[in-house]
Amino acid sequence: MNSRILFSVSQVFVCLPLWGVPANRDHFVAVDLEKSKGTVEFFAVARPSFLRIHGTIKEGNAYPLKGHLRIRGLKLEGRATFVLDSLQTGMESRSRKMHEEYLETHKWPLAEFALETLLLPSQFWGEEQLRAKVPFSGLLSFHGVQKKISGETTVEKNASELNMDFRFEVALHEFQIENPRFLGMEVKDSIEIRVHLGVPLEVVR
């Protein structure tokens, strides 16, 4: 199965002041993900009953997403790491099996993503409100395997904030995770991952 990476990043509110160069038409913005709140989710389906598994970040956990994003002109780049143990599936025994047997978080506790290419729409800085889908690509390191991935980001800008939704699909076998099973259920190989980020607009100038 081909991997399509759609990186959806849930709303992130960055408190860290960002440095910009408003006098220059080549805008520059840096976002520290560690000081933001974001959401990472995954969606899986298990046979034979097509059970839907919605993985989310455990409540009460320290914020698991670290790294930075930089906007230089229209180019977005950056790196992010995510603590895999922060994910839960809604059932404790299922989550534990996911961490211990399949993700093997004791060996590879983090997923890492290096965003290499994402070009914002040309009218991004000129318009107050904007919504567009743009492609992106990067390197995902996960379960000891590094793979190039690509996908689509939904960029939404309004008067107060900038939101970015990244979505991608992962084929588990490509990351050496074979046929996850739990009590007679077998998880399908393709998992959709969504990450959503939101940035207050006053820092994106």
- What distance in Å separates the CA atoms of residue 141 and residue 103, rounded to the nearest whole number? 12
The binding site for another protein (CB under 8 A) comprises: 45, 47-54, 90-94, 182-185
Nearest of 169, 177, 181, 203 to residue 6 by alpha carbon: 169
What are 32's strand-pairing partners?
68
Q: What's the min distance (Å) between Cβ of 45 and another protein?
A: 6
- What distance in Å separates the CA atoms of residue 161 and residue 199, rounded to the nearest whole number? 5
Q: What's the min distance (Å) between Cβ of 90 and another protein?
A: 7
Pick the closer one to another protein by CB: 62 or 183.
Answer: 183
Pick the closer one to another protein by CB: 44 or 149.
Answer: 44
Q: What's the min distance (Å) between Cβ of 93 and another protein?
A: 6
Q: What's the min distance (Å) between Cβ of 1 and another protein?
A: 16
- What distance in Å separates the CA atoms of residue 185 and residue 124, rounded to the nearest whole number? 45
Alpha helix locations (H) across the chain? Answer: 92-97
Take residue 138 and report the two structure tokens written for it: 């990067």
Which residue type does 136 have?
F
Pick the closer one to another protein by CB: 96 or 133.
Answer: 96
Pick the closer one to another protein by CB: 72 or 181.
Answer: 181
